[in-house]
A = this chain, B = another copy of it.
């Protein structure tokens, strides 16, 4: 991943949050995403005309796949999209599971977006796809780097900065890959403080804690979102990933400690924001939506801008002057 750290254009796979440098995030990605807001406001362009994205998902994710497809088409590109979990993954066992990506690489799409129910598949696809750029759109319990990029862009846009922020990550931190990927990105900034607010059985794993420690990020565990709310600039709420086998009992009385409602709003800082990768299933009371601090729908929209920016950087690279 070293080449990526030097220049995104040189090796255009998007596999994991760690691969990006802070200078690239701040001086390349953020301005390009900002530019894309104007492109959408103008109804799109045709800068990626003739370019073709192949999007293969073996795990359902309507929102992510729609935003990728729209990010491509709004720039005039073409998309071939397949999302049938059972169908595509039925054969996907062991080394043979990669055959799909070898074959699809041979069809020569200009970029391949992969979501897979198994960790590490997107990274492996880069080895067999004959040089086609790969974007990891989520790999099992692994990462979801474009979600982390849009999360970071949202923080920057909403708060004006990333350095020095306090953030509470709430919910299922064991199985939620968005909080894992975001932690990696936050580790690249200074003065960040993280509170992990989760039931003990769903707490953040040791590998992330080690990474944060090595990168000088302060973190602590808390047991109640109401305790964290007054302390932070960002509440990053997640849902229990029952589809990845979370055993947490949602009817346990203590689950209320990990939900946001109008009471939470009263103890939050006035300029703090609430984020959520969506979909939600009960962790945020819809009554909260009306509050300006509810940033999750703006966050979802940022996903479109950030994915447009990534696609443009991969498919229409800057020419050196």
Contacts and interface: CB of A to CB of B under 8 A. Distances in A.
Contacts of A67: 107
A74 B96 contact: no
Nearest 7 interchain pairs by C-beta? A106-B301, A95-B286, A60-B87, A91-B279, A103-B300, A73-B78, A69-B80
Contacts of A93: 281
A103 B301 CA distance: 7
A281 B91 contact: yes
A87 B313 CA distance: 31
A8 to B, nearest CB: 21
Given A99-B279, A286-B95, A88 B73 contact: no
Contact of A70 (B46, B66, B107, B280): B107
A109 B70 contact: yes
B108 A40 contact: yes
Given A91-B281, A278-B99, A286-B96, A82 B108 contact: no
B73 A80 contact: yes
Q: Which of A43, A93, A99, A278 has the most CB of B within 10 A?
A: A99
A10 to B, nearest CB: 20
Contacts of A100: 62-63, 279
A83 interface: yes
A82 B106 contact: no
Interface of A: 40, 43-44, 46, 50, 52, 54, 60, 62-63, 65-67, 69-70, 73-74, 78-80, 82-84, 87-88, 91, 93-96, 99-100, 102-104, 106-110, 278-282, 286, 297-298, 300-301, 304
Contact of A103 (B87, B88, B297): B297
A304 B107 contact: yes
Contacts of A54: 66, 70
Given A91-B279, A279-B91, A84 B109 contact: no
Contact of A84 (B60, B73, B80): B60
Contact of A66 (B74, B83, B107): B107
A62 B43 contact: no
Given A50-B43, A73-B80, A87 B62 contact: yes
A169 B160 CA distance: 62
23 contacts: A54-B70, A60-B84, A62-B84, A66-B82, A66-B104, A66-B107, A67-B107, A79-B80, A83-B84, A91-B279, A91-B281, A93-B281, A94-B286, A96-B279, A96-B282, A100-B279, A103-B297, A103-B300, A103-B301, A106-B300, A106-B301, A106-B304, A107-B304
